[in-house]
A and B are shown apart, each in its own frame.
Chain A
Amino acid sequence: MSASFEKGYNALKEQVDASVASFFSSCVHCGMCSEACLFFTETGAPERTPINKTEPLRRVWRQEYTLLGRLGKIFGFGKKVTDDMLAEWETLIYDSCTLCGRCSMVCPVGNDITDMIRKTREGMAASGHAPPGLIGATKRAVTIGSPMGVKLPALQAQIAHVENDTGMTIPVDVEGADYMLLLSSMEIMNFPEFIEAVAKIFKHAGVSWTISSDAFEATNSGIQIGSSDIAAELVQRIVDAAAKLKVKNVISPECGHAYMAIRWEGPNLIGKSYDFKVVHILELLDDLRKKDRLRVKGRLKDRLTYHDPCQISRRGGVIDEPRNLIGMFADNFVEMPDPGKMNWCCGAGGGVSSNERADEIRLRVFQRKKDQLDAIHVDGMISACSNCRIHLEDGLEEYHMELPVLSLTETLAENLDES
């Protein structure tokens, strides 16, 4: 991708719609969004206030889409967006924001600040002001098919391991299956137990499923870096694979932004509705629970909590399902303070984990999660996003906390009654 300031400016112009204009027109600079953002609460840096991260987009809106702003532009008044300005904002927009969506929930005038930051990233990426780590991940996603560079042979090797270990067959490229499972690179490389867990649950419940060898990658660096063109290309690969295998449903795995990409942004990125349904793995599992197709053995006595991945709960709408599922096997489930749609981000979503430059700050802001956990004293933390999981483990280690981080799908699989 060739980047230039002009491309960035035009990309910002394209992002302004009626919602963005009403958001900017409504901001009263009350600063309440700062208190909703862990990058502010844990650092106290005023420039990290969420609404400030949208400043490049605000200046473009004002100069291009308001009468006074246009007059100002003609007569040389008003603050302009410059390449230097974009460079200055880069770390605020990428290193100090996980697109977690908490600011959008507290803004008293109703600004969806997260959406505004997501849109601002379009201009940042097009002008070349994105973090090198995220640019690298995005390039790998386009050329190799995975941000971590995971190729089909790597997946095949993991599948072979699972098949050898369990004696189960992992269906690949099965035409006409009901469900096509997507996986995140992190699941393939760091948590292959997830594949085993899904296979076990689907066998137990009699679900017809497959993995596509053409498009197995669920993650989408395009939406993290803010490049709609790339994001659309990555979504289209999945759409094509689903059409080739004639599947009725596509499953988004335990990955937050993958769900945002394929479920909510996908059809809008490619400009048309899907011929298949997208379900999050937790939605499908909860549906199986409702239909009485899941039986568990005994119940866990451990005190467990659930970390809501932002893109799955607050930004994705999958909030009750994990709690219903945990209720199947846990006797001592306890919520963190601010649970569900108001949960605090782990600190590494929205591309922060692909951006090595942000390593220090993501661990610093983990203090927020630590405070949440310190308030409830649990034996284990369940989540449903492998990116959250890696970072939660990192953060716990950094803060010398001993606490197992569990995948919900894997924990459910372990507790299935197979008799």
Chain B
Amino acid sequence: MTETELLTWARGPGFQIASIIFALGIMLRLGEILMLGRKANLAEAKGSAMSSGLRTVFSRTVPDAATFKRSAFTVTAGYIFHIGLFVVIFLFAPHILFFKDLLHVSWPALPSPVIDATSVITIITLVIVLVHRLRDPVKRFLSNYDDYLGWFVTILPLITGYIAFHRVGMTAPSLIAIHLLSVQLLMVVFPFTKLMHAFTIFLARWYNGAISGYRGVQS
């Protein structure tokens, strides 16, 4: 297979296969959860489950001051790499063109040097996060293959993208093909690892807020 053929495959069939697994996987996982259902609460409500649930979906993004103080590294590093991933994935001009092709909607991009710097910061943060996971007694104790696999498939597209952008080592088609394949690996693995939290977090936060809000407490 030539590098052009590889790129064509990655852009075409490769991307289609990954997209199908990604979409079906997410639907399967969400279906597995929602089909379990939840019994109606028969106790008389003291507050609104719905409004509290919706509020918690957003409010849980920001910890209270004391919690932040106790978990400052986890929260700060978490913010940096999540925002970094968002910026790099959604605000890089070539990515926006890709989404425009796919979804027929477009939005403004950030200048490439900003994306470049964000990528570096995000990669460095993810490396620090991994080191912390390996060193922190609680995180190390809790971690399993899912945590390391999730980390690996997340940092890989960042690194391959960074290398492709700077044209290091290989020709452009090969570098872009490798970058696309790394993204496809992420997409295929995504629904079956903890990366799924990107979707289920909304359910979890809603349930938490609803359970608490029903009793009259904003969680």
Contacts and interface: CB of A to CB of B under 8 A. Distances in A.
Contact of B194 (A29, A32, A46, A108): A29
Contact of B217 (A271, A277, A317, A337): A317
B33 A317 contact: no
Contacts of B216: 317-318
Contacts of A47: 141
A18 interface: yes
A373 interface: no
Given A109-B60, A268-B43, A316-B215, A21 B33 contact: yes
A30 B205 CA distance: 16
A52 B139 CA distance: 11
Given A25-B29, A263-B43, A338-B66, A46 B207 contact: no
Contacts, number: 174
Contacts of A28: 147, 194, 197
Contact of B141 (A46, A109, A267, A317): A46
Given A21-B32, A316-B215, A112 B208 contact: yes
A20 B63 CA distance: 22
Contacts of A399: none
Nearest to A32: B71
B36 A65 contact: yes
Contacts of B139: 29-31
A22 B200 contact: yes
Given A28-B197, A108-B60, A19 B43 contact: no
B78 interface: yes
Given A22-B204, A30-B139, A49-B142, A267 B56 contact: no
A316 B219 CA distance: 12
A19 B32 contact: no
A358 to B, nearest CB: 21
B62 to A, nearest CB: 10
B71 A111 contact: no
Interface stretch (A99-107, A182-190, A206-214, A292-300): A99-107
Given A21-B33, A337-B66, A112 B211 contact: yes
B38 A17 contact: yes
A278 B215 CA distance: 13
Of the candidates B63, B197, B200, B204, the one having the most CB atoms from chain A within 10 angstroms of its own CB is: B204
B34 interface: yes
A65 B217 contact: no
A110 B142 contact: no
A117 interface: no
A67 B24 CA distance: 12
A315 B194 contact: no
Contact of B143 (A29, A267, A315): A29
Interface in A135-170: none
Given A112-B207, A315-B215, A17 B39 contact: yes
A109 B142 contact: no
B60 A314 contact: no
Nearest to B144: A29
Contact of B33 (A18, A267, A318): A18
A301 B111 CA distance: 64
A314 B43 contact: no
Interface in A25-74: 25-32, 34-36, 40, 44, 46-47, 49, 51-52, 65-68
Contacts of B35: 18
A115 interface: yes
Contact of B208 (A16, A35, A107): A107
Contacts of A23: 204, 207
B101 interface: no
Contacts of B211: 19, 112, 115
A225 interface: no
A109 B219 contact: no
Interface string B6-37: 00000000000000000000001100111111
B204 A110 contact: yes
Given A18-B33, A30-B78, A104-B219, A268 B197 contact: no
Nearest to A52: B142
Contacts of A31: 71, 74, 136, 138-139, 142
A49 B211 CA distance: 22
B60 A110 contact: yes
Given A25-B33, A31-B142, A106-B67, A267 B42 contact: yes
B131 to A, nearest CB: 15
Contacts of A345: none
B194 A317 contact: no
A152 B193 CA distance: 56
B66 A109 contact: no
A67 B196 CA distance: 14
Contacts of A66: 29, 32
B208 A277 contact: no
A20 B32 CA distance: 12
Contacts of B127: none
B37 A110 contact: no
Given A21-B33, A106-B67, 20 more contacts: A16-B36, A18-B38, A21-B36, A29-B139, A30-B78, A44-B137, A46-B140, A49-B138, A49-B141, A49-B142, A68-B192, A106-B64, A108-B61, A110-B201, A110-B207, A263-B43, A267-B44, A274-B44, A315-B215, A318-B216
17 contacts: A18-B33, A18-B34, A25-B204, A29-B143, A36-B70, A46-B141, A51-B142, A68-B192, A106-B63, A108-B60, A108-B75, A110-B205, A110-B208, A267-B44, A268-B43, A315-B217, A316-B215
Interface of A: 16-23, 25-32, 34-36, 40, 44, 46-47, 49, 51-52, 65-68, 104-112, 115, 263-268, 271-274, 277-278, 313-319, 337-338, 341-342
